[in-house]
Amino acid sequence: MSRRFMSVTRHITFGLLAAILWGGALQPASARKRGAEQLPVDSSAIAQQRRDLEIGQSMETFFNIFREVNLNYVDTTSPARLMRDASDAMLEGLDPYTEYLPAEEMADFETMTTGKYAGLGALIRKSTDGRWIEVAEPYRGAPSDKAGLKAGDRILSVDGVDMQGHDVQFASERMKGKAGSVATLVISPIADTTTTRTVAIKRERITMPAVPYFGWVKDSLGADSVGYIRLNGFTENCAAEVRRALETLQKQAPLQGLILDLRDNTGGGLGDAVKIVGLFTPRNTTVVTTRGRMPEMNSTYRTVGEPVAPQVPLAVLVNSISASASEIVAGSLQDLDRAVIIGQRSFGKGLVQSTHPVGKNDYVKLTTAKYYTPSGRCIQAVDYSHRNEDGSVGTVPDSLIRSFRTAAGRTVYDGGGIMPDRKTPVEYLSKFTGILIGSGYVDDFANRYAVEHAPQRDFVVDDSTYAAFCRMMADRPLVYESRTERLLEQLRAMAEREKYADRIGAELDAIADKIKDDQQAELEAFESEIRTVLADAIMMRWYYDAGRIEYQLRRDKTARTAADLLLDRAEYTRIVTTQDTDKK
């Protein structure tokens, strides 16, 4: 590419970009002069002109850098890669949710926002030895399920393409395809890994259920009286799924109360959040407002239609992962004094994104507004660049927290996330158990166990089953380092640099010996929680995700707290009419 061509291209491109940006706002000097003679000085217009000039100069600088790098850098560069890197770096400094979406990522974005894709309907994973792709979970009723695929089945090839050594993304792209097309898989079944079978599966349009489970939480007398609905995401038509679940529960028995579980729900479409609030509040109730820099982003969203359960006592469960649309539902119901919020403070995402085309099939997902609940509070974390390890809102200074009033006059606060009316403790798994899960060993055991046994609904991991798991782990050493061990090594290094090692070396060695990771000792120390995660995994193999959720619900302390509160009408009424929320 010649310098002359680049120079001509530069001037043409810059002129076109300027015309697009300002839509004819750039005028000849004579026209600007005539305008200045006819109109009084407008400070806002001057500010806009300065901004326009800054934009133009910045674009020219960027173009020059881009040109020089592509012409003169010592190695051959990829213009597309440079543009992607520059775009990512530019957007990264704005907020965590504004991002560039190239064409190849739009399919995943559509799946995330709609819950739909065309494929076989199975979750896949890498085998624990890293060599193979395995079925992790066939979705109930999906093509993979109807074809008889089981968790643990090894996928040897897809449409003749060998899967050995490839990653999950590679396999997933080949299992997806046009609805109606056929995928030919060669499988090594978990039930007999010495054999293979070939199966042809017709791809279908897969819709991930937003409500994977609904049912009942038994009261202290063992009666079904409090309904329960789990909502996993605000995908397309999720409000209709919640409505169907609610109406089904109402037909089964009188609802003494309802639990809407939004824990681990990271949000999604704003419209369906408004519809869900409308199931419990009167027509034309204000749910949320959005405010942005551009006037067209300022909107008020109200409920439409008559509610399905306007009087049923309602509890909404949230945790530190509940975000965006989940916080709209929880925050508006709290502001309207229509529900008790139970759990932990929510994530704190009060920003609205919209997609804008920026090239051939490329988009930018851009934050264009903030949303506000009926009391006027914004749930966005004051500082979204500093968070806790789990991503939740960190400590917010009191000086940055403002108070607001609910419909009944209760005090609620902004500053980041929805603060629950009734807090429940977070139940953490040990790091050792987390690594067992992440390494795939829990799934390996569950896959094999489910082939050999048919667990009942009241299944528990007994002593013999846990002993079998420990025997399996004896052949699969788990190498990991605890945070305590890492800190101790840092202390040892610092002691050596500062010449204290000779004096405290023996004490450090003694501490190291006491905290040294011992796999068998860890299996004994965390036996109770490991039995629990094993049982969950085994139940999912036989009863799918809905069965696993139902199984977990029996020991769910937060859901139990919610059910007891809903049945205590005096306490429920006291909370939604008089109790202020805490700041933290």
Active site residues: 324, 335, 349
CA distance 446 to 269: 35
Asked if residue 2 lies in contact with residue 71, where contact means CB atoms within 8 angstroms, the answer is no
Q: Record the tokens describing residue 121, joined without a space.
A: 């309907």
Distances (CA, A) of 433 to 187, 514, 523, 531: 30, 20, 9, 10
CA distance 550 to 214: 8
Place of tokens 């000849």: 28
Return the CA Rg of the chain: 29
What is the CA 106 to chain-centroid distance, rounded?
17
Question: Which 3 state secondary structure label does DSSP give 234?
Answer: strand
CA distance 123 to 477: 26
CA distance 210 to 445: 29
Give the DSSP H or E segment for 287.
strand 286-291
Integer distance in angstroms from the first to the last C-alpha of the chain?
60
Asked if residue 303 lies in contact with residue 277, where contact means CB atoms within 8 angstroms, the answer is yes
Residues 208-245: b if buried by 16+ CB within 10 A, e if exposed:
bbbbbbbbbbebeeeebbbbbbbbbbbbbbbbebbbeb
> With DSSP H G I counted as helix, E B as strand and the rest as coil, what are the percentages for the chain, rounded to 5?
45, 20, 35
At residue 433, φ and ψ (nearest 5 deg) are -65, -40
What is the CA 380 to chain-centroid distance, rounded?
16
Neighbours of 125 (CB within 10 A): 17
What is the CA 372 to chain-centroid distance, rounded?
21
